[in-house]
Amino acid sequence: MVALPKLHRKLLRDLTASRAQFGAVVLIIIVGIATFVGSYEAYQNLDSSYEGSYEQLRMADYWISVDYLPRKAATEMNDVPGVVAQGRIVGDVTIDLQLETGEKVSGRVISLPSGEHPEINDVRIESGSYLSPGAQREILLEKRFAEYHQLYPGDWLTIERDSSKVRFRIAGTVVSPEYIWVTKSAQELFTTARTFGVIFMPEERAEEFFGMKGMVNEVNLVLEGGTDPTQALSEVRRVLRRHGIMRLTSKDEPIAVSTRKIDIIQGVRTAYMIERKDQLSNNLLKQDVDGFRQLAVLFPVLFLSMAALAIYVLLNRLVESQRAQIGLMRALGYRTLQIMFHYTGFALVVGVIGSVLGALLGHAIADFLTSVYAVQLKLPFVAVEPHWYVVGLGALIGIIVPLTAGLLPAWATTRMRPAEAMRPPAPRAGHHTLLEVLLPFVSLLPSVLKLPLRNFFRNLRRSFFMAIGVASAIALILVSLSFVDAIESFMHTQFEVIQNYDARLHFQGQGAAATASYIEHLQGIQEAEPVLELPYRLQSGDQVADSSILGLPEDSTMYTLLTLEGHPTTVVEDGILLSIPLKNKLGAEPGDEIHLEPVVGSVGETEKTLAGFINEPLGGRAFMPLQEAQELLRTPGVATGVLLRFDGEPSPALMERLYRLPEVASIEFSGEAKRFVDDLMGFFWAFIGVMLAMGFALGMAIIFNGVTVNVLERRREIAIMRAVGMSQSRLVIILTLENLLIGCLGVAIGIPLGCYIANYFMAQTEMDIMSMTAVIFPRSYIIACVSALVILLVSQIPAIRQVSRMSLPTATKDWSE
Amino acid sequence: MADASELVTAKQNSRKPAIKLEMVSRNYQMGKILVPALRDVTFEVMAGEFIVFLGPSGSGKTTLLNLIGGLDSPSSGRIIVNDTDITKLSQAQLTNFRRTQIGFIFQFFNLIPTLTATENVEFAAELVKHHRSAEEILHEVGLEERMKHFPSELSGGENQRVAIARALATDPPILLCDEPTGTLDFETGKRIYKLLRMLNQTKEKVVVVVTHNSAIGAIADRVVRLRDGQIAGTIHNDQPMDPESLKW
């Protein structure tokens, strides 16, 4: 057996002798690396899960929507080299749930071949079975909707379109890659399972239902690997032209409204194409996951920065306390590089242990976070696998960070002269502190108060470094809590302040604003306001954003608009208000002209002056007066929905009356919408929960380390105080007061530091559909500061106990460790 | 027939100088003031000699020891140890010099607290290719029963003997001892000096001791007095006392 060189044995023994401090640093590394590996692997898992789902269920690369097209057109497109094409029918319907209340909800029908799974945009059977061959009265139901309404295979569902009502038997429940995030439209992104369901109907039945015999109104395309999209789509266009579709427009190639007008007059038919990246569900999921990816990098960077600082401080103090040993090693003939590598070795050992354990823990966290998200979204395919490059990268970072932090103190050992290093350090120069100069009465204070003040200022470097440790802990805890506060504020602002209606009634397409007046007179209704929401493209200079415009009554009491400062405001006559996501996308300033172009139709192109910005956490829309929105359509009195406030709990009879209104497609209750968004945030809560726990653990480790080293390196001083007769309790008071002073400095630094970092982090998590503002409630400041101070006070206990038990004769004469 | 003192003188005269200092000065900058710790010191230590440098605190004796041992560099002058001018050596060469030529014994032992007695000796021994076994050296210094103990488990005298064993680990020709019994009681101190004297006589090691305790001078071949950084006087002991007879 090869004997371990004594220098290495010294390293191991020194680590063991100071295992609490080094253990704390190892914990810091573990937390930092676990956070990185956990978050980033989870992000990779989610990305792989989506892509896996799309691959397994053969999600389309392109969707082409038309008014109608012969089915054979899809067959012709199939003949284009590298293209797999499939036609289908997609149409919106109403679902009659056959409840006492007469409740109706919105539905979307998508046709599928019966007897065999489709080539593109397949579904995965969750219960029951696929559509049987030749099935006429069978449907498949999207799982979430089915679960909510407790609909099972074998149950019957009534689907309405125009005045036609047909009953269908549910053959099975499914998940679809196109509806992982189930949403009705870009204007109704947060559709609850209660009010919108996706139905998969046999092709022949759908043709009959929609009166499209032998026709399709959507073609899905998949381009095989290596196919040139430009070439392939050019051929597809040719096929479309052969069947009377002269234009193929898309988000990247929009058609000007003026051209649309001409097309309408001339009877030119247009198809609209979207790519997978713009497909609603995929786009929303990617935004969500991208936001998460940013946090997955930011939090670990924050944690590891604190880790680097803690390691630097610890190693610095270790080198300082082992000056005599360093001098001895030089005296014995150890080379400077040997000594430097010896002290770097402490950082290396800490890094290796921390990174290995951190990577393993991170992997477990990744599994947990992935499964939470998968459950939330009911992902058809969940990829939970080790991403070794992430684990490896995490481990590498976990070694590099401490090594880098430890280099400077290790390098300092090479500059020590052996003779000086072995001499006791010269006593510090004595002088009155700045505090005593500024506040002379300090000198008159009793020693139990004077000593902590003097000690604090006499070794400002030590006090400052310890305060930085406390500040880091506070900042870490505060940043994590700020996300909790931001989500709470977000939910409160959106659902208590802005949306202070009880329900929103959605029309099927466009209806009459006058319906609101009718509804307001129904018993049980306190108030009703019409609203008009239109999909619009907004442009300012070169910047373009696809969003929607919400037309609100100027005196609306049920939809409160808030300025960026949080003050209530209202829609502006002849002006437009933009939400924060639109503000960021368009880069416009109040007074700028915003070009408005309808996404569909040829009416409503105009320019409006930007009147200001609105703080709406959810939505990312523009706002204008209802009347002006109606003027865009050149249709006075039009609306797409009604906001309702009930007089107490709405009775079943009232609900029945509402559902019976011919225009009504669905009614969305605010409380349910709020719960839905809350559920969506479930993953975010899990992530923040993990970050908060990590932040606390990290904070504890940093403070414990700092306090312990701070007490232990003054053991001689403490021993002398005891030797001259100072009681243990007095000593504890002095040390505690000094630590509290440092703690207060830490609070003073930590709070602004935490606020700054929280604001920065929040700014990185922007999404098109959601904007969270950095908010820190007073309780969070209190929790962070009190936690840090409590940890500080508790952390000093082991160190004080240790110095209390030391041998006074030994400690008073041995100035080195 | 030559008498004993003549024989001693003859023996001394036939020895080569192991250590030679020529006009060595060492100054320290303390703020604005330049403090001369040593001033133009010139002397020689012969091979096999047991020499004691005596002087009060601040006389420059520790500075002198550090300079001889290559732990510090003189401000001016030359120091030649076993024919090597160490003032001309680079840092790396000085490290090598200390490893092979010098064994240090400090007042406060300076043992590594987390290594046992054996490991402390091996800590130094591993620096050279061919070295004696730590156990053997500890046996020599009378610590065969305490080899596996940590410094905190040893008495002051035992700690110092470990330090001596460590100093012998690389078999250096010169032992430099800075107040080796400063923290020890009288009886223990005597035992240490007996050991040092034995090493000097049986292994021909040059032993340089710096101390403020004038009683120690009696066991040395030569006593050099230092005052204010200069040599104030030299006494030759023709008949050095047996350390057993030491009293202070």
Per-residue model confidence as pLDDT tens digits over A95-106? 988 777 778 888
Q: Cα–Cα distances in Å, from A761 out to A294, A491, A780?
A: 9, 19, 17
- The distance in angstroms from the start CA to the end CA of chain B is 37
> Which structure tokens are listed for A204?
């022949």
Residues of chain A found within 8 Å of residue B110, distances taken between Cβ atoms: 324-325, 327-328, 422
User: pLDDT tens digits, residue range A209-244?
Assistant: 999 999 999 999 999 988 999 999 999 999 999 999
Q: Can you tell me the distance from the alpha carbon of A815 to that of A716, in angstroms, rounded to the nearest whole number?
A: 6
Average pLDDT, whole number, for chain B?
Answer: 89
Q: What count of other Cβ atoms lies within 10 Å of the Cβ of residue A721?
A: 18
**Which range among A288-292, A578-582, B9-13, B146-150 shows the weakest confidence by mean pLDDT?**
B9-13
Q: What is the pLDDT of residue B1?
A: 41
Q: What is the pLDDT of residue A678?
A: 82
Residue with token string 């002058």: B77
Q: What count of other Cβ atoms lies within 10 Å of the Cβ of residue B194?
A: 15
Q: Residue A3 pLDDT more than 80?
A: no
Binary contact (A814, B108; C-beta < 8 A)? yes
Cβ–Cβ < 8 Å for A534, A620: no
Q: Does A7 touch chain B (CB under 8 A)?
A: yes
Give the start-end residues of each E strand in chain B: 17-30, 33-46, 50-54, 76-81, 84-85, 102-105, 174-178, 206-211, 222-227, 230-236
Amino acid sitting at position A229 = P
Q: What percent of chain B has pLDDT over 90?
A: 64
Q: What is the pLDDT of residue B218?
A: 92
Residues of chain B found within 8 Å of residue A324, distances taken between Cβ atoms: 108, 110
Please give the helix or strand (H or E) that residue A219 lies within, else none: strand A215-223
- In B18-90, which residue ranges form alpha helices assigned H by DSSP? 61-68
Q: What is the pLDDT of residue A410?
A: 86
Give the 3-state secondary structure percentages of chain A, helix then strand then coil, rounded to 5.
55, 20, 25
From the list B115, B166, B183, which residue is nearest A10 (CB)?
A: B115
Binary contact (A6, B110; C-beta < 8 A)? no
Q: Residue B2 pLDDT more than 50?
A: no
Picking from A630, A673, A623, A639, the residue whose alpha carbon sits closest to that of residue A518 is A639
Give the 3-state secondary structure percentages of chain B, helix then strand then coil, rounded to 5.
35, 30, 35
- In A378-459, which residue ranges form alpha helices assigned H by DSSP? 388-414, 418-422, 434-438, 447-458
Nearest C-alpha of chain A: how many angstroms from B240?
Answer: 30
Binary contact (B114, A330; C-beta < 8 A)? no
From the list B71, B123, B170, which residue is nearest A6 (CB)?
A: B123
Q: What is the pLDDT of residue B10?
A: 47
Mean pLDDT in residue range A510-538 = 92
Question: Residue B114 has what DSSP assignment?
Answer: T
Q: What is the dihedral of CA A642, A647, A648, A649, to 10 degrees?
A: -50
Contacts 24+ apart (CB under 8 A), A150-153: A152/A127, A152/A128, A153/A127, A153/A128, A153/A129
Task: Search chain A and give the residue with CA nearest B155.
Answer: A810
Mean pLDDT in residue range A411-424 = 79
> Which structure tokens are listed for B56?
């009060």
Q: How confident is the model at residue B205 (pLDDT cuts 50, 70, 90)?
A: very high
Q: What is the pLDDT of residue A809?
A: 62
Q: What is the pLDDT of residue A817?
A: 39
Cβ–Cβ < 8 Å for A367, A406: no
Q: Residue A440 pLDDT more than 80?
A: no
Q: Does A417 touch chain B (CB under 8 A)?
A: yes
Give buried/exposed letters for A235-268 (b at 16+ CB in 10 A, else e). bbbebbeeeebebbebeeebbebeebeebeeeee
Amino acid sitting at position A515 = T
Binary contact (A6, B115; C-beta < 8 A)? yes
**Which range among A5-14, A482-491, A692-701 shows the weakest confidence by mean pLDDT?**
A692-701
Q: How confident is the model at residue A125 (pLDDT cuts 50, 70, 90)?
A: very high
Return the half-sphere exposure (C-beta side, CA atoms, 13 A cut-off) of residue A350: 38
Q: Can you tell me the distance from the alpha carbon of A600 to that of A471, in angstroms, rounded to the nearest whole number?
A: 54
Average pLDDT, whole number, for chain A?
Answer: 87
Binary contact (B110, A324; C-beta < 8 A)? yes
Nearest C-alpha of chain A: how many angstroms from B172?
Answer: 11
**Most B CBs within 10 Å: which of A2, A4, A6, A414, as the mutation test of the B interface?**
A6
Q: How confident is the model at residue A300 (pLDDT cuts 50, 70, 90)?
A: confident
Nearest C-alpha of chain B: how many angstroms from A355?
Answer: 26
Q: What count of other Cβ atoms lies within 10 Å of the Cβ of residue A77?
A: 24
User: pLDDT tens digits, residue range B151-163?
Assistant: 999 999 999 999 9
Sign for the pseudo-dihedral over CA of B183, B184, B189, B193:
negative
User: pLDDT tens digits, residue range A588-637?
Assistant: 999 999 999 988 777 888 999 999 999 988 878 999 999 999 998 888 89
Mean pLDDT in residue range B192-206 = 92
**Most B CBs within 10 Å: which of A13, A332, A422, A716, as the mutation test of the B interface?**
A332
Q: What is the pLDDT of residue A169?
A: 96
> Which structure tokens are listed for B218?
């009696």
Q: Residue A378 pLDDT more than 60?
A: yes
Task: Search chain B and give the residue with CA nearest A330.
Answer: B95
Mean pLDDT in residue range B57-65 = 90
Cβ–Cβ < 8 Å for A398, A355: yes
From the list B71, B119, B122, which residue is nearest A331 (CB)?
A: B71
For chain B, helix (H) and strand (E) counts, in that order, are 7, 10
Q: Does A427 touch chain B (CB under 8 A)?
A: no
Binary contact (A330, B71; C-beta < 8 A)? yes
Nearest C-alpha of chain B: how many angstroms from A332?
Answer: 6
Counting beta carbons within 10 angstroms of the beta carbon of residue B92, is it exposed (0 to 12), middle (13 to 18) or buried (19 or more)? exposed
Binary contact (A328, B115; C-beta < 8 A)? no
Q: How confident is the model at residue B32 (pLDDT cuts 50, 70, 90)?
A: confident
User: pLDDT tens digits, residue range A48-76?
Assistant: 898 999 999 999 999 999 999 999 999 99
Please give the helix or strand (H or E) that residue A532 lies within, else none: strand A525-540
Q: What is the reported pTM?
A: 0.79
Nearest C-alpha of chain B: how many angstroms from A817?
Answer: 8
Binary contact (A334, B108; C-beta < 8 A)? no
Picking from A502, A443, A393, the residue whose alpha carbon sits closest to that of residue A44 is A393
User: pLDDT tens digits, residue range A318-356?
Assistant: 888 888 899 999 999 999 889 999 999 999 999 999 999
Picking from A150, A145, A195, the residue whose alpha carbon sits closest to that of residue A174 is A145
Contacts of residue B36, defined as CB under 8 A and 6 or more positions apart, other chains included, come to B25, B26, B27, B229
User: Residues of chain B whose C-beta is under 8 A from some C-beta in A?
Assistant: 66, 69, 71-72, 91-92, 95-100, 102, 104, 106, 108, 110, 112-115, 119, 122-124, 126-127, 166, 170, 183
From the list A16, A334, A422, which residue is nearest B127 (CB)?
A: A334
Q: Can you tell me the distance from the alpha carbon of A62 to that of A487, in angstroms, rounded to the nearest whole number?
A: 35
The interface pTM score, or ipTM, of the predicted complex is 0.84
Q: What is the pLDDT of residue A432?
A: 63
Q: What count of other Cβ atoms lies within 10 Å of the Cβ of residue A487?
A: 19
Q: Does A17 touch chain B (CB under 8 A)?
A: yes
Q: Residue A558 pLDDT more than 60?
A: yes
User: pLDDT tens digits, residue range A455-513?
Assistant: 787 778 778 888 888 888 888 889 889 988 998 998 899 999 999 899 999 988 888 88
Residues of chain B found within 8 Å of residue A327, distances taken between Cβ atoms: 71, 110
Q: What percent of chain A has pLDDT over 70?
A: 96
Residues of chain B found within 8 Å of residue A419, distances taken between Cβ atoms: 66, 71-72
User: pLDDT tens digits, residue range A155-190?
Assistant: 999 998 887 889 999 999 999 999 988 888 877 777
Binary contact (A418, B123; C-beta < 8 A)? no
How many CB pairs lie under 8 A apart between chains A and B? 74
- The distance in angstroms from the start CA to the end CA of chain A is 32
Q: Residue B7 pLDDT more than 50?
A: no
Contacts of residue A427, defined as CB under 8 A and 6 or more positions apart, other chains included, come to none
CA A445 from centre of chain: 52
> SS3 sequence, A584-636?
HHHCCCCCCEEEEEECCCCCCCEEEEEEEEECCCECCCEEEEHHHHHHHHCCC
From the list A6, A16, A817, which residue is nearest B122 (CB)?
A: A6
Binary contact (B124, A332; C-beta < 8 A)? yes
Q: Does A393 touch chain B (CB under 8 A)?
A: no
Contacts 24+ apart (CB under 8 A), A601-605: A601/A260, A602/A257, A602/A260, A602/A261, A602/A263, A602/A264, A603/A257, A603/A632, A603/A633, A603/A634, A604/A257, A604/A534, A604/A536, A604/A632, A604/A633, A604/A634, A605/A257, A605/A258
Q: What percent of chain A has pLDDT over 90?
A: 41
Mean pLDDT in residue range A701-708 = 82
Q: What is the pLDDT of residue B6?
A: 47
Nearest C-alpha of chain A: how many angstroms from B146?
Answer: 18
Window 321-340 of A, Cβ < 8 Å to B: 324-325, 327-328, 330-336
Task: Search chain B and give the residue with CA nearest A424.
Answer: B108
Binary contact (A333, B72; C-beta < 8 A)? no
From the list B96, B108, B110, which residue is nearest A333 (CB)?
A: B96
